[in-house]
Structure 1
Amino acid sequence: MRASTFDHPALLYRTSDEYLAGTTGFVRAARADGDRVLVAVPGDHLTLLRAALAGEEAGVAFADISESGRNPGRIIPSVLLQFAAEHADTRVSIVGEPVWPGRSALEYPACATHEALINVAFAGRDATILCPYDTSCLDAAMVDDARRTHPVLIEHGNRMPNDRYEEPLRTAARYNVPLPPPPDGAATMPYATGADLADVRAFVRRQSAGVLSAARAAELMLAAHELAANTITHTGGGGRIAVWPEPGLMACQVDDTGHLADPMAGRVPPPARQPSGRGLLLVNQLCDLVRLHTRPGATSIRIHILCG
């Protein structure tokens, strides 16, 4: 019988056979122990695992993480913690693959931050999260980060403690880096008080007209509203919002003088009785990518909404 503790191994693999052996073996062992299992992997791997586990799906849920986890900041609250909450009476075991070939350079820092902060969000919880990494095609720096963010490694079928594991908040701080500046042609506007929030919403609506569908434009508008409202609530001054199109998406960035000191903000839901503290959580739900840089006296948050 396993102790009630959190286990976060990285599965380092090079071939499909290694991937299937490591992941299906994990799922079968977890089910034999009575765990509820979630397989949250990109679509092509989801197809492989569904086929390999055909007839063994009892107690196993499947999710395409390239959809549910397109924004890495959404994975902890909406995929991992949600599954754990749904099965609070038993141990959960999860195959989670947030880093896959095709993740962009802009997305990747959010992925590495996510992997580090899993260790904070699940500390003391009765859970295992296995994270596969394809060492044959992922950048070497990504594999190095896998070693920094996972206390245990599984490679060539061998499980071993990882002496390169780094304190999670230190790893997250590595990726708290300045964002690229908005392009010269970005539309911008300042805001300072609650009375300006209606203007912020109208501004975002105008800029996204003809680029995003009505539904997606409404999501961008709501996310921008939440960010601007956070500025007004938590800082002594106003901020500036920039909006611009990129191929296939609309981007929006909010800059203000605040300092977001809690790296778990927007990743762990506040207690139900707490009336506030859900703004960044909602932004993570709405957006396809959220990138953040914060330091004393300055915070920048950039969000993306894909066209559709």
Structure 2
Amino acid sequence: MSISTTPVTAPDGELVHRAVPYRDPEHQAEVLAGPVAGALEHGRRALLVVEPRCRSELERSLGPDADVRFCPPERVHSAPPFTVAGRWSRAVRGAIADGATGVCTVGQPLDLPGTDAAYWTRLDLALGHAMRELPVEMLCCFADGDDAREAVGALHDEFLLDGAPVASTHRRGDHELLREHPQPPPSDLGAPLVTVPVELSELAGMRRLVQRHAEQSGLTRGRVADLVLAVNELVSNGIEHGSGSPVLRMWRTPAGLVAEMTDPAPCHLAFPGLTAPPLCGPRGRGMWLASELTDVLQVWTAEDDPGRVHDTVVRVTMSAP
């Protein structure tokens, strides 16, 4: 198969989101070599999360000097999908700040612990949302087969076929797909360290409480400050835009210190915390800031997970040091 080495991309600042079918890892590497090489030739970075055989073939075809960053799949996908999408967004923004004209990202569903169809669907949608205003060519590989293109086409604007973009005729709405692939409900973490309803007059005391538990958990001074600010943003949101008296709970777990804000008021953000709000906007910064400051942010809403979640539940995790 002849593959063009010139990527077909959108203007700077716009996401190109394509599904890439393949027969086997060797064919996958053959199909990807052109777009990845073309991206590098045009001053773009390449961030790839692929299975080992495909990686080996790409390393051989692209050469040892190719500026390609291969990320271990088991490490990348060790977090919830929205957290993974946020990390990818930060990596892309970092590459652009470092002088790259754009980024070519490559990923694929793999059989990894903690992943299922809902994980991969939510990740694909979250990645598209988190990077929608960035100069990114996002290539999502999938094993071609019976009905595979219809299912994958529901998530993607285009396919990359024989080196050329082909519009998907099966694209569906993101909100509809999220409802069909809900995330697991909040896990039971046992008895919390604290359970505190917080009102506006109690925010200062709440911040001191979070600081004390963060310090006792072994967090560094900077991470203590980040966690206090993140929790303050989340609880303040509940006070200002929710019921006025959200509940804060905290746990110390093997993953780190967990802080959770629950509020009976609904949340209507399909992709909370994934993109920064407009600078001129009056609201929406708190969730994004909390996501940027902590290791993991998870949000459950009755709208997102009907029948399993009745309140808005927001959890952040911060690990030591």
TM-score by length of 2: 0.69
The answer to whether 1:203 aligns with 2:212 is: no
The answer to whether 1:258 aligns with 2:270 is: no
Cα distance change on mapping 1:101 and 1:181 into 2, 3 Å: closer
The answer to whether the 8 Å contact 2:39/2:104 transfers is no
The answer to whether 1:8 aligns with 2:20 is: no
Cα distance change on mapping 1:28 and 1:74 into 2, 3 Å: same
User: More deviation in 271-280 or 38-47?
Assistant: 38-47
* 1:36 CA drift (Å): 2.4
Alignment of 1:73-84 (within 5 A): 73-75=85-87, 77-80=89-92
Distance in 1 (alpha carbons) for counterparts of 2:211 and 2:60 = 44
The answer to whether the 8 Å contact 1:76/1:268 transfers is no
Aligned to 2:316: 303
Distance in 2 (alpha carbons) for counterparts of 1:54 and 1:121 = 31
Aligned to 2:36: 27
The answer to whether 1:150 aligns with 2:156 is: yes
Q: Gaps spanning 5+ residues in structure 2: where?
A: 1-5, 304-309
Aligned to 1:168: 174
Distance in 2 (alpha carbons) for counterparts of 1:207 and 1:126 = 40
SS of 1:197's partner is: helix
SS of 1:242's partner is: strand
User: More deviation in 158-167 or 247-256?
Assistant: 158-167
The answer to whether the 8 Å contact 2:251/2:258 transfers is yes
Cα distance change on mapping 1:164 and 1:229 into 2, 3 Å: same
Aligned to 2:114: 104
Alignment of 1:86-235 (within 5 A): 92-97=102-107, 100-102=110-112, 104-105=114-115, 112-120=121-129, 127-133=136-142, 146-153=152-159, 161-176=167-182, 179-215=185-221, 216-235=223-242
Distance in 2 (alpha carbons) for counterparts of 1:234 and 1:253 = 17
The answer to whether the 8 Å contact 2:106/2:141 transfers is yes
SS of 2:154's partner is: helix
Whichever residue aligns with residue 228 of structure 1, its letter is V
* 1:278 CA drift (Å): 1.8
The answer to whether the 8 Å contact 1:194/1:232 transfers is yes
Cα distance change on mapping 1:230 and 1:151 into 2, 3 Å: same
Distance in 1 (alpha carbons) for counterparts of 2:157 and 2:134 = 15
User: More deviation in 291-300 or 220-229?
Assistant: 291-300
Cα distance change on mapping 1:252 and 1:175 into 2, 3 Å: farther
The answer to whether the 8 Å contact 1:200/1:224 transfers is no
The answer to whether the 8 Å contact 1:72/1:114 transfers is yes
Cα distance change on mapping 1:193 and 1:176 into 2, 3 Å: farther
SS of 1:128's partner is: strand
Superposed CA RMSD in Å reads: 4.4
Q: Deviations over 1:253-285 (max 9, x none)?
A: 210123222324422222234465321112111
Q: Deviations over 1:180-220 (max 9, x none)?
A: 25433122322332332233233333444554432544433
Whichever residue aligns with residue 79 of structure 1, its letter is A
User: More deviation in 234-243 or 202-211?
Assistant: 202-211
Whichever residue aligns with residue 45 of structure 2, its letter is V
SS of 2:137's partner is: strand
User: More deviation in 37-46 or 72-81?
Assistant: 37-46
The answer to whether 1:239 aligns with 2:251 is: no
TM-score by length of 1: 0.72
% identity of equivalent residues: 18
The answer to whether the 8 Å contact 1:228/1:239 transfers is yes
* 1:177 CA drift (Å): 5.2
Q: What is the number of equivalent residue pairs in this alignment? A: 297
Aligned to 2:274: 267
Whichever residue aligns with residue 294 of structure 2, its letter is C
SS of 1:150's partner is: coil
* 1:233 CA drift (Å): 1.9
The answer to whether the 8 Å contact 2:217/2:252 transfers is yes
1:38 aligns with one of 43, 46, 53? 46
Q: Deviations over 1:100-127 (max 9, x none)?
A: 554635x985663342144456668765
Aligned to 2:307: none
Aligned to 2:287: 280
Distance in 2 (alpha carbons) for counterparts of 1:7 and 1:163 = 16
Aligned to 2:300: 293
Whichever residue aligns with residue 271 of structure 1, its letter is P
